[in-house]
Structure 1
Amino acid sequence: MKIEILGCESFGARSLACTVITGKKKILIDPGVALARLRYGLPPHPVEIAAALKIRKKILYAFEGATDVVISHYHGDHMPMKAEDPYQLPVEALPPLKDIRFWSKGPEKISGLSARRRKEFSHFLDSSLPSSEGSSFDCISFSYPVPHGTRDKGFGTVMMTRVCEGDDVFVHSSDIQLLDRETVLEVLAWKPTVVFSSGPPLYLSHHVPEASEEAFENALLLARNVETLILDHHLLRSLEGYMWLKKLAGKVENTVLCAAEFMGKEPELLEARRKMLYEKLPVPRGWHEAYAKGEGGLEEYL
């Protein structure tokens, strides 16, 4: 089994995209990318935009030869979109999707916006998206809906994915954020060797007080029972999150790291550093408007 992470906050933009290659399949999970429209009151810095474009290119390349595509839920950083902003992956950019089998979260327990996006993507594919929760086929299995973050807080649900080959078991647990113990126990019941998951949103801890202590206990439980735990996404939207990750890694013997480290790269927490980027590399007034019109380049920020 070969696991390649294509995008994540530690690569500089919002994503949880990866491919899993087995002897029979190339499975592309959550092919999406996005940027926070505002952070610290600032729009995306050009350095972040360049990182998002790099991830977009990797995702588009990953569609080539893919046998299966999984969409865990319908947020813009997890799926191709009918153009909503210039930083996401537009459906119009996708290559021909012939012979690719889609697996997707059903329409239950999703917002009106997610339902619209699901319908739009189905229309683009010219076929209905399946409701894949609870199903299995060959080496792939899918969970029933689990909470997107804290249970019963109205944040909707996501679908987790399990891929197995021999003794190797990979679980993409999407945006569970380690905020629900029952969901973590579901992950462990799959007996994974590698788990790729969103960590808790520490940058929103004033809204989600359980994001630190409760999530840390759930993370410890997971880390002690999985050979390799990859935590990223919501967790690494703050520098505090990276310190949280290193604290967790120091308490267990198993491997705990972020997506960039798993891929042998240095983390680039660009969203967390957006204010610093503007201070170090000032952006001329009107640059974003010019870029949106195709008149502003990224060369000087690369």
Structure 2
Amino acid sequence: MRVIPLASESLGVRSLATFVEAGGLRILIDPGVALGPKRYGLPPAEVELKTLQQMRKKLQGYARKADIVTISHYHYDHHTPFFEGLYESSSEDYAREIYAGKILFIKHPTENINFSQRKRAWAFLKNAEAIAKKIEYADGRSFDLGGVTIEFSPAVPHGSEGSKLGFVVMVLIDDGSKRVIHASDIQLLNRRSVKWIIEKNPDLLITGGPPTYLGPRATGSWETGVKNLNEIILETNAEVILDHHIVRDKRYPEFFDELEKRPKTFAGYLKVEDRPLEAYRRELHKIEKGEGAEVPFRL
């Protein structure tokens, strides 16, 4: 099995897009990239917009190779919509290239879903149904694809139990020699997700940490995230790739320091420098204006 992280906060955009080659199958997980429209009251810096275009180009390249596409939920950093979007770097052409002729395993569009994601799911399916090879609602189901098993969790909260952000599905890919779980936006904050991951006992876990960058709105999420991820590490001894929401917080290396086994970011897994652009948006705007500011990565 070959796992290729494609785009994430440590690579400069909002995403957890991943490409997996297993048993002759080529699987694209959560094919979306986006930028936060406002952070510190500021729009994306120019370097963020440039990086978004680079990540979009990379994503489209891997989409052309994929046989299967999975979508954990309908936020735009996890799937590419069919509209023209500046901060999603999206278009109908990009979306068609990703989904046309592919088998789509997707979060159920009407069950365990909030109003916002239900609308987005409807818009997605209105366009995708006519061009996809096949669409399966994946929640809680398992698919045997000729020596490779793709299993999806039941719908679990997007973050804490009772989250207003709705639900997501995790995916396990097992080729008989390696088990990989991709757990988008569980944020390590709900017990249902933790129990499912431990039960499935992955060799590699790809997940997003808690949204500690939200400050008071995420009170307690740091401690809960550390506790839950340490439990997963101790119970499974899985290698962990940790990225996404936690890397929007400049303090994310300190979060990593509190874990029983130090994870890698997407960038770290790819052996390149972390470039958490959004976390340093204030500094990036100052640099672009010629004002004095520093960031801990190359521009």
State the TM-score, normalized to the length of structure 1.
0.88
RMSD: 1.9
State the partner residue of 1:113. Answer: 116
Cα distance in 1, alignment partners of residues 240 and 171 from structure 2: 15
Query: In the TM superposition, what is the alpha-carbon distance from 1:54 to its structure 2 partner?
Result: 1.1
State the partner residue of 1:266. Answer: 273
- Do 2:103 and 2:135's aligned partners in 1 also have CA atoms closer than 8 Å? no
| 1:273 aligned partner, one-letter code | Y
2:234 equivalent to 1:232 = no
Cα distance in 1, alignment partners of residues 157 and 203 from structure 2: 22
State the partner residue of 1:159. Answer: 169
Cα distance in 1, alignment partners of residues 194 and 245 from structure 2: 17
- Do 2:37 and 2:87's aligned partners in 1 also have CA atoms closer than 8 Å? no
1:202 counterpart (194, 200, 212): 212
Structure 2, unaligned runs of 5 or more: 291-297
Range moving further from structure 2, 69-78 or 217-226:
217-226
Cα distance in 2, alignment partners of residues 162 and 96 from structure 1: 21
2:197 counterpart (173, 187, 204): 187
- Do 1:195 and 1:226's aligned partners in 2 also have CA atoms closer than 8 Å? no
Query: In the TM superposition, what is the alpha-carbon distance from 1:237 to its structure 2 partner?
Result: 0.3
Cα distance in 2, alignment partners of residues 210 and 109 from structure 1: 25
- Do 1:36 and 1:44's aligned partners in 2 also have CA atoms closer than 8 Å? yes
State the partner residue of 1:280. Answer: 287
- Do 1:179 and 1:218's aligned partners in 2 also have CA atoms closer than 8 Å? yes
State the partner residue of 2:140. Answer: 134
| 1:100 aligned partner, one-letter code | K
Cα distance in 2, alignment partners of residues 154 and 39 from structure 1: 21
The alpha-carbon distance between structure 1 residues 84 and 136, as it changes in their structure 2 partners (threshold 3 A), is same
| 1:235 aligned partner, one-letter code | I
Cα distance in 1, alignment partners of residues 24 and 185 from structure 2: 27
State the TM-score, normalized to the length of structure 2.
0.89
Question: When the two structures are aligned, how many residues end up with a matched partner?
Answer: 281
Cα distance in 2, alignment partners of residues 234 and 35 from structure 1: 12
| 2:254 aligned partner, one-letter code | M
Name the SS for the 1:219 alignment partner: helix
State the partner residue of 1:54. Answer: 54
- Do 1:235 and 1:242's aligned partners in 2 also have CA atoms closer than 8 Å? no
- Do 1:202 and 1:240's aligned partners in 2 also have CA atoms closer than 8 Å? no
Query: In the TM superposition, what is the alpha-carbon distance from 1:84 to its structure 2 partner?
Result: 5.8
Name the SS for the 1:185 alignment partner: helix
| 1:38-77 alignment runs, 5 A limit | 38-77=38-77
Query: In the TM superposition, what is the alpha-carbon distance from 1:98 to its structure 2 partner?
Result: 4.3
| 1:256 aligned partner, one-letter code | P
Name the SS for the 1:27 alignment partner: strand
Cα distance in 2, alignment partners of residues 6 and 80 from structure 1: 14
Cα distance in 2, alignment partners of residues 277 and 63 from structure 1: 31
Query: In the TM superposition, what is the alpha-carbon distance from 1:12 to its structure 2 partner?
Result: 0.4
Q: Percent identity?
A: 33
